[in-house]
Amino acid sequence: MKRRGIAVLALVMLVVLVTQFGADAARDVIVIGEIAALTGPTMQQGTQERNGCVLAVEEINAAGGLLGKQVKLVTYDSRDSRQKVFQHIENWSNKTRPAW
């Protein structure tokens, strides 16, 4: 149950980061953050999430981008840890200044 809770939390945080991406007029690229368990017990699911995000970004960029800008995906490994998820969110928001 703990693993499922961490996976759900990581997915929720992914949705938050994707829907609240930091796009402003000065950037040539829209950076979207993703947090997935790429190591640990749920790494298979995390790898599938990562592959899905990579595919989506490739398709978006091939179709001309988002709002006329190319999209860049940045992935953080949660290591199947709730604490790591929150650390990555804090680091992401301090580093990239997302528009939320």
Residue 4: the pLDDT is 58
| pLDDT score of 13 more than 50 | yes
DSSP, collapsed to helix, strand or coil, labels residue 75 as: strand
- CATH code at 2-96: 3.40.50.2300
Tens digit of each residue's pLDDT (9 = 90 or more) over 38-93: 999 999 999 999 999 999 999 999 999 988 899 999 899 998 888 888 888 888 77
pTM of the model: 0.67
* Domain range annotation of the chain: 2-96
Which ranges constitute the DSSP H helices of the chain?
2-19, 43-62, 82-96
Distance CA 18, CA 39 (A): 21
